[in-house]
A and B are shown apart, each in its own frame.
Chain A
Amino acid sequence: MSLEKKEFKPKIVAFCCNWCSYAGADLAGSSRLTYPADVKIIRVPCSCRVNPMFILRAFEKGADGVIMCGCHPGDCHYSTGNFYARRRMTLLFSMLDYIGVENGRTRVEWVSAAEGVKFSETMNSFVEKIYSLGENVRLGDLRCKS
């Protein structure tokens, strides 16, 4: 254990739906639109597959920010998945805000398969926000921290 303060490298989890946002991230990649390597993407079939437990789990394990991306409302591959996801996330984020977790640590963005630019811009701005908020101390499992 070192007493020296380490440079803050945030851990950011991005849940992306397979049909729109994951494809949007692929397009960002093939267009060489950069965003920080702090973002790691988990592919889910649909934004409606993202359980609030996954988001809390990420924070528990030390994530500093969690972002969920899905198809634009009305464009869901499964017609209605993102509508349910939208309500779930709105309520969850509101609850996290309510217990004093900085609301910048969570975000939902709708990114279509054609929006590589938007994907990259979204990730850049989200990472920037997390840097400004600093390390997540309020939701982490203290046992994991050294």
Chain B
Amino acid sequence: MQELINRAKELLADGTVARVLGWKGGDLPYNPEPAYFETAEELADFVYNSFCGANLSKYMIEASKLEGKTMVCLKPCDTYSFNQLIKEHRVDREKAYIVGVGCKGKLDIEKIKKKGVKGIESIEGAEITDEADTLKIQTIYGEKSCAYADAMLERCHVCKGKEHMVYDELIGDSKETKDADRFDEVARIEAMSPEEKFAFFQKELSKCIRCNACRNACPACSCRKCVFDSTKFDSSQKANVDSFEEKMFHIIRAFHVAGRCTDCGECSRVCPQGIPLHLFNRKFIKDIDGLYGEYQAGADTTSKAPLTNYTFEDAEPSIVGKRG
């Protein structure tokens, strides 16, 4: 982290960048938040630890409009989102000085809390330089511990890899954290009966409070104005009042980002209700990979997206019923 701060100070000092986009500590030990830093003094608040899950690439849409360059800290998975935003002309590559930061898997405080750990005062082992496999958690009830891997975000278990897709320089090492297949859960649901599927999603989606956190965090959901907020479709502009709208919202949201979603997992990370929203996006990704060939959004800035592409031999929609 100190290396990052030092570099940020250098870049600010020599005028390479006008500001730094990173994270600062929150009110609790596990909730750092995205923040801009414009001076060396402000950087005193800079943090980068295993709770810095937020994908900062979306912030570059607004930062691209500011005077001068912005130093932005991007984890390997965040760089896919950034590339996708370049492709869609939403960010200006010239306005970003990308520092590819190392990542050893980000932590999910909810997973720790679910283990019955309450009253957390501090967490040891979450610094980016720590090599510990176990987190030591000081609580008002005494010291607790938790295996690092058990506290990792779902997305880190299916990590896309340690490579940064786009950067100006790299600081810090990354760790291989993948120990699961990202489509396992989708396949498990696909194998259910229609009744079970419906019950599963009904249960999950009925938790939705339409707070729009998923939409706000999603780097692909970057429309200036969402269709659900405009009058163009006579679509609802309000909180869910019936069981249908939440489905409509999440299906359309997933559809709109299909072929553009990099599977960064921010939607699920930020959902205050803990809805596994990534299951919608992953379903589309799984279908796209299976039907039209493997495609990773954000791996480059030029390839044709699956929904703006076709082949004569594409599968017919009737394949949906036939795949069993």
Contacts and interface: CB of A to CB of B under 8 A. Distances in A.
Interface of A: 51-53, 56-57, 59-60, 73-74, 80, 83-84, 86-104, 106-108, 138-143
Contact of A94 (B194, B233, B287, B292): B287
A2 B192 CA distance: 36
A108 B201 CA distance: 25
A86 B199 CA distance: 29
Binding site of A, secondary structure by majority: helix, strand, loop or mixed? helix
B147 interface: no
Interface string B181-205: 0000010011010111111111000
Interface in B233-263: 233, 235, 241-245, 247-248, 251-252, 254-255, 258
B197 A141 contact: no
Contacts of A141: 242, 244-245
B280 interface: yes
Contact of A53 (B235, B280, B283): B235
29 contacts: A52-B251, A52-B252, A53-B248, A57-B233, A57-B248, A80-B310, A84-B307, A86-B314, A87-B292, A87-B310, A90-B315, A91-B258, A91-B284, A91-B287, A91-B307, A94-B287, A95-B251, A95-B283, A96-B251, A97-B320, A98-B186, A98-B283, A100-B201, A102-B194, A107-B317, A107-B318, A139-B244, A142-B242, A143-B241
Contacts of B252: 52-53, 56
Interface residues of B, number: 50
B244 A142 contact: yes
Nearest to B186: A98
Nearest to B288: A91
Interface of B: 186, 189-190, 192, 194-202, 227, 233, 235, 241-245, 247-248, 251-252, 254-255, 258, 280, 283-284, 287-288, 291-292, 306-312, 314-321
Contacts of A97: 194, 197, 320-321
Q: Which residue among B195, B243, B280 has the maximum number of chain A CB atoms within 10 Å of its CB?
A: B243
Given A100-B199, A102-B194, A90 B244 contact: no
B320 A94 contact: yes
Given A53-B233, A90-B317, 15 more contacts: A53-B227, A56-B251, A57-B248, A87-B309, A90-B319, A91-B255, A93-B320, A94-B320, A95-B254, A96-B251, A97-B194, A99-B201, A99-B247, A104-B321, A107-B318
Q: Which residue among B201, B255, B306 has the maximum number of chain A CB atoms within 10 Å of its CB?
A: B255
Contact of B244 (A60, A83, A92, A106): A60
A56 B248 contact: yes
B220 to A, nearest CB: 15
A107 B291 CA distance: 18
A90 B242 contact: no
A102 B320 CA distance: 11
Contacts of A108: 316-318
Contacts of A57: 233, 248
A84 B233 CA distance: 21
A80 B314 CA distance: 13
Contacts of A74: 312
Nearest to A100: B198
Given A87-B292, A90-B319, A107-B318, A98 B190 contact: yes
A89 B292 CA distance: 14
A87 B283 contact: no
